[in-house]
Amino acid sequence: MPLKVSHEEQPTLNNTSMIDVLFLLIMFFMAGTKFTEAERNIGLNVPKVSDSGALTAAPEKKVVNVYKDGQITLDRQNVSIDELTARLTEARRNYRDVGVTVRGDGTGQFQLVADVLSACRQAGIGDLAISVRINSAQR
């Protein structure tokens, strides 16, 4: 039984619509460039202000760790209570709404955590949080 073997044409890709889209994009960017040139040529003197702090949103919350042995860290750097108060005051001066998360060792003295919370209050921090872990056995 003889088999017919036909040589089919390879499919071709019609590039007409792709070229149309490319020309439209070129025209769009050319028009956009004209608008930016017009914006630069406005004879306007903007007012000057003093550098009174950052104009960006506050960064992530600061993390204060209180270890069982009494060691206190702020963003992974060892600090004393006085240094903690000073650094948090400076952070609040730069970012008014800065927040603090306090993580204390569950087997440590609560007095250390209370001292850290008091230092945060003295620094004027209003957004305070205490990190805890939910006990899954009591559910």
Residue 58 has a pLDDT of 55
pLDDT (tens place) for every residue of the chain, 139 residues total: 566 666 777 778 888 999 999 999 999 988 877 766 655 665 656 666 666 665 666 578 888 999 888 899 998 889 999 999 999 999 888 888 888 989 888 888 888 889 999 999 999 988 888 887 777 665 5
Residue 4 has a pLDDT of 67
> CA 75, CA 48: separation in Å to the nearest integer?
35
Residue 134 has a pLDDT of 74
Residues 6+ apart with CB under 8 A from 81: 72, 115, 116, 119
Walk me through the domains of the chain, giving residue ranges and CATH numbers: 62-138 (3.30.420.270)
Tally of CB atoms within 10 A around 116? 26
> CA 139, CA 46: separation in Å to the nearest integer?
61
Residue 138 has a pLDDT of 59
Residue 5 has a pLDDT of 67
